[in-house]
Amino acid sequence: MKVLVLAPKSRYDTYGPETPTSKAAQLIFCDREGTEAEWLAAGGDADALFVTPVTAISAAFIAQMPHLKLIHSEGVGFDRIDLEAAKARGIYVCNNAGCNAAAVSELSITLMSMLLHRVLWGDRMVRQGHQGEAVRLMEQDIPSDLSLSTVGLIGFGAIGQAVAERLRPYGSEVFYFAPHRRDEETEIRLNARYLPLEELAARCDILSLHLPANTASHHLVNEEFLSCVKPTAFLVNTARGAIIDDEALCAALREDRLAGAAVDCYEPEPAGADHPLVRLAAEYPDKLILCPHYGGLSKSAFRAAHRMLFEDLESVMAGRRPQRVVNDL
């Protein structure tokens, strides 16, 4: 089976599993920043397509691949793939749900702690030779830590649940909102209780986003949402940039209606120097932590992701439905 891969070959050399399927598949590698014409010239006759979550796969491109049976995101996100066009052709679209849950949840908690402990401010003060002054100022306004914080998880899939699990040793009070409430056994195991979204926004000291990008989540964090949030609260987004209305977030931070935010994803990406959050970070360097969307980049996540890719490819090669279908086929 021929597979067009819009990702670096070195990644597959390092993290690809040594299985009969990976050895049997003919992998054709192309630059993910290339054009559709270049991709088609290299692998327009491919049976499967492996793409990064940020690579746009259009209906027009799909239509020009007559043998295509599978489109697989290398990560969790799949919102840039035309799902309806694939479904109309009977092409499976899959993702690697849960592959990076450990890595992203670890970054989420790291960012929570950095916001609570004012790490950016402290780093700046020490670099400027003001360590003593920084300590004296902090003693006048002692920060909370995770053990005293109420954390609200918005989205409670693999990553949201991994965050809840990792918060248990800290003793945080954890609530969650999700479109579908989890069973009682899961809530007890993860020490997390369900709250409606508005109530969760008003109650929690830290709000952490773990939703996929779709029509329901688009700009969920908007002016109305932020009007419910405590001015001492922090916002963390390691999910998707489209969940946040950036202008509303910038206004809340400028007007001290939100204490701070940390983000690892943007709308659009890549974020340039003119992005609203990048401009705001220059104005308020201690309020906003900006990461380059690398929460899911870890060796363990890449090993898991490549294993999942070839598991689903094996199913398609054998004429079976793959495990991780996201377009209702």
Q: What is the structure's pLDDT at 42?
A: 97
| CATH for the stretch 101-290 | 3.40.50.720
Closest CA to 98 of 324, 310, 311: 324
pLDDT, tens digit, 9 for 90 and up, residues 84-99 = 999 999 999 999 999 9
pLDDT, tens digit, 9 for 90 and up, residues 299-308 = 999 999 999 9
Query: What CATH topology corresponds to 2-99+298-317?
Result: Rossmann fold (3.40.50)
pLDDT at 295 exceeding the cut of 90: yes
SS3 of the chain: the string is CEEEEECCHHHHHHHCCCCHHHHHCEEEECCCCCCHHHHHHHHCCCCEEEECCCCCECHHHHHCCCCCCEEEECCCCCCCECHHHHHHCCCEEECCCCCCHHHHHHHHHHHHHHHHCCHHHHHHHHHCCCHHHHHHHHHHCCCCCHHHCEEEEECCCHHHHHHHHHHHHHCCEEEEECCCCCCHHHHHHHCEEECCHHHHHHHCCEEEECCCCCCCCCCCECHHHHHHCCCCCEEEECCCHHHECHHHHHHHHHCCCCCEEEECCCCCCCCCCCCHHHHHHHHCCCCEEECCCCCCCCHHHHHHHHHHHHHHHHHHHCCCCCCCECCCC
pLDDT, tens digit, 9 for 90 and up, residues 183-225 = 999 999 999 999 999 999 999 999 999 999 899 999 999 999 9
pLDDT average, residue stretch 70-92: 96
pLDDT average, residue stretch 21-48: 97
pLDDT at 77 exceeding the cut of 90: no
Rounded Cα gap, residues 315 and 69, in angstroms? 11
pLDDT, tens digit, 9 for 90 and up, residues 112-144 = 999 999 999 999 999 999 999 999 999 999 999
Note the pTM of the prediction, 2 decimals.
0.89
Q: What is the structure's pLDDT at 178?
A: 97
**Percentage of the chain lying above the pLDDT 70 cut:** 100
pLDDT at 8 exceeding the cut of 90: yes
Question: Amino acid identity, residue 328?
Answer: D
Mean of all residue pLDDT scores within the chain:
97
Would you name the residues annotated as active-site residues?
Answer: 240, 269, 293
Rounded Cα gap, residues 60 and 45, in angstroms? 15
pLDDT at 54 exceeding the cut of 90: no
Rounded Cα gap, residues 96 and 122, in angstroms? 38
Closest CA to 47 of 13, 96, 5, 17: 5
Q: Do domains 2-99+298-317 and 101-290 have the same CATH topology?
A: yes
Where do the structural domains in the chain lie, given as residue ranges?
A: 2-99+298-317, 101-290
Q: What is the structure's pLDDT at 205?
A: 98
